[in-house]
Amino acid sequence: MKLVVEPVTRPLSGTITVPGDKSIGHRALLFSLLSATPVRVLGLGDGADNGRSARAVTALGGSITRDGDALVIRGTGLDGMRPPAAAIDCGNSGTTIRLLCGLVAGQRFQTTLFGDESLSKRPMRRVIEPLARMGATITGVAAASGAAHDVMPPLAVGPATRPLTAIDYVLPMASAQVKSAILLAGLFADGATAVTEPGPTRDHSERMLTYLGAPLTTAGRRTVIDTRGWNRRLAGDGFTIPGDPSSAAFLIVAALLAGAREVRVPGVCINPTRTGFLDVITAMGGTVVLEASRDAGPEPVADLVVRGPAPGLRATEIAGDMAVRSIDELPVLGVLAARAHGTTTVRDAEELRVKESDRIATTCAMLRAFGVACEARPDGFVVEGRPDRPLAAGRVHADGDHRIAMAAAVAGLVAEGASEIDDADNVATSYPGFAASLTQLGAAITTV
């Protein structure tokens, strides 16, 4: 699929509801499999990634039915999962495959997990190693020479011949997916399984497991699941999935760059572990107003509002916790940096190397296609802003990465001619209606 984007001729305006948060959606589906009671899930996005997690739930013995706007998930409880009849296809979803590793690591049957060409190149040793320490058996495909000593999908998980062993594990690299896999495996271990993070990551798993009644405690960056004396029962009546801040970020940056009479994105998750992009925007001189702040189950939400353009944007440094908290938004923040005065540096973001693409390389290639100077570095990139003249009309190959395709579409709104984004099919993994949303705000985007 190709997107053709014309430069905007008037300020954007409108109210757009973004898909339910993909990260929370994965967890609502997979964790509900462990519930002893049916769970109603409202607001689940219709992206392909969440669909992979939904199919994994049914493959392992759960059922999913629709009741009006809600999905009703009838799980198996902790001890009722069934062997899947076939290998489970995780598609392009790294969250699905890594969380499933923890979910099925303690089962007395084998589960095979595989994915598409992109997922088959993503490293899995960092999740396999701690689970193996717990006694899980996980094998995969030896990595190519460029990623020596790592393991790639397909993965064969199990069967477990005895209960898993509780461990006290210090993550060598901040990763919410690895942390979540260990905590899920900890539900099937005898004792206290602890995970200590080197830096903050998304805490959706901790919030949701606590909401379901798991024996979980958190102190600083250390989280413990202690099953001693626990009745092994998880239960909950439902979740409302808040809007995805990562999807909202692309609309917000588009409004800041193209100008907005008023662009409103209601009901977006504002969990502090996910709002790094808002802090970056503020540091660069942009203004996003949070209105109607409230709670949606275990997560806080608010309406995000942009009024007017963002003149005088200035460069900043995105590093440390800020980089972790805005990791999925860094490609579109690179577009924002392209319109700022000065040089913006992104560092401490080596996680970008192992996303759907090498997002350091593909972000730089995307920005260069619009005439922006961008230098790739091992753990990030450097962007030279060009605020005083339009971006060049770009021709971008998204390399099958939805974040790169969407960031390029935002850049195209402030380019000097029509821009083309090739290989944009994977936008459907997280935000199938992205082009339609920008069109509703007043942009001119054609899907070919």
Q: Please give the pLDDT value at position 194.
A: 98
Output the pLDDT for position 308: 86
CA angle 236, 242, 246 (to 5 degrees): 135
Mark whether 328 is an active-site residue. Answer: yes
232 lies in a domain?
A: no
Question: Does residue 231 belong to any structural domain of this protein?
Answer: no
Final residue belonging to a domain, choices 171, 200, 226: 226
- Max CA separation in the chain (angstroms): 65
Is 43 inside a domain boundary?
A: yes
- The total of structural domains in the chain comes to 2
Phi and psi of 87, rounded to 5°?
-60, 145
Please report the pLDDT score of residue 12 as a whole number.
97
Statement to judge: residues 82 and 217 lie in one domain: yes
Q: Name the H helices within 113-241.
A: 125-133, 176-186, 204-212
Residues 15 and 28 in one domain: no
What pLDDT tens digit does each residue of the chain (448 aa) get? Answer: 999 999 999 999 999 999 999 999 999 999 999 999 999 999 998 889 999 999 999 999 999 999 999 999 999 999 999 999 999 999 999 999 999 999 999 999 999 999 999 899 999 999 999 999 999 999 999 876 555 579 999 999 999 999 999 999 999 988 999 999 999 999 999 999 999 999 889 999 999 999 999 999 999 999 999 999 999 999 988 989 999 999 999 999 999 999 999 999 999 999 999 999 999 999 999 999 999 999 988 999 999 999 988 889 999 999 999 999 999 999 999 999 999 999 999 999 999 998 889 999 999 999 999 999 999 999 999 999 999 989 999 999 999 999 999 999 999 999 999 999 999 999 988 899 999 999 999 999 999 9
- If asked whether residues 43 and 65 sit together in one domain, one would say yes
Cα(448)–Cα(412) distance, integer angstroms:
16
Q: What residues are paired with 269 via a beta bridge?
A: 301
pTM (two decimals): 0.90
Do residues 378 and 435 both lie within one domain? Answer: yes
313 & 386 share domain: yes
CATH value at residue 338: 3.65.10.10
d(CA 308, CA 294): 25
233 in a domain, yes or no?
no
User: Does one domain contain both 401 and 259?
Assistant: yes
387-433 per-position pLDDT tens digit:
998 999 999 999 999 999 999 999 999 999 999 999 999 998 889 99
Residues 207 and 303 occupy one common structural domain: no
Q: Is 179 found in the same domain as 194?
A: yes
Q: Domain residues for 368?
A: 3-20+242-447
Output the six-digit token pair for 219: 């102190």
With beta carbons less than 8 A apart as the criterion, state whether 47 and 35 touch: no
Q: Name residues whose C-beta falls within 8 Å of residue 242's C-beta, 6 or more positions apart in sequence.
A: 20, 21, 24, 43, 267, 268, 269, 296, 299, 301
**Has residue 311 been placed in a domain?**
yes
In a domain, 235, yes or no: no
The CA distances from residue 422 to 86, 119, 295, in Å, are 34, 20, 39
Assigned domain for 234 exists: no
Do 28 and 8 lie in a common domain?
no
Q: Do strands 39-42 and 70-74 pair parallel, antiparallel, or not at all (unpaired)? A: antiparallel
Give the dihedral of Cα atoms 20, 22, 25, 27; nearest 10 deg: -150
If asked whether residues 139 and 274 sit together in one domain, one would say no
Helices (H), strands (E): how many in the chain? 13, 26
- Among 303, 328, 348, 399, the one annotated catalytic: 328
Residues 260 and 301 placed together within one structural domain of the fold? yes
- At 30 the pLDDT is 98
309 and 436 share one domain: yes
Give me the pLDDT at residue 90, please: 98
Q: Is residue 237 one of the residues assigned to a domain?
A: no
